Structure 1
Amino acid sequence: MKNKFLIGLIGLGIYINEQAKAYDWKQLNSKKIIHDQIGNFPVLLILSKDGQSFAAFKRSHKVKYSI
């Protein structure tokens, strides 16, 4: 199965390499940026300026980003 994003009313989910993880939309909305790892895959979630859309990226293990 390909990598996927699932968005619901209270959260969003990311599916990568046969592993999935859910995130609370309110937490992303308050933090604006979340560093995490799904299995061995480091990810970065960023809330857009409009507060209604997001982006997810593969990130380096060594780098932490901030807004």
Structure 2
Amino acid sequence: MDQIEFYVIHGRCDALMVRNLLQSKYPDCVFLTQDLGNAIQKIKQKNGISLGGAASLLLKLLDLQANNPA
């Protein structure tokens, strides 16, 4: 989990990229994309990075519009 967290926080990786990185490091282990996706979502929620760039921009624009409708 520590390595998955490192990849997600510092590398902004998705489940497939993390799986490929882990497979190259641990070739005898099986990593399911669904399980990695769930782990990545938990890590993102824990670290407050659950929103993507587009979602963050939209929230910022909506906030600005609420403060200044013109």
**Which TM-score applies when normalising by structure 1?**
0.29
**Higher Cα Rg, which structure:** 2
Q: Flag the structure with higher strand content.
A: 1
Q: Flag the structure with higher helix content.
A: 2
**Which TM-score applies when normalising by structure 2?**
0.28
Q: Which has the higher contact order (CA 8 A, sep 6+)?
A: 2
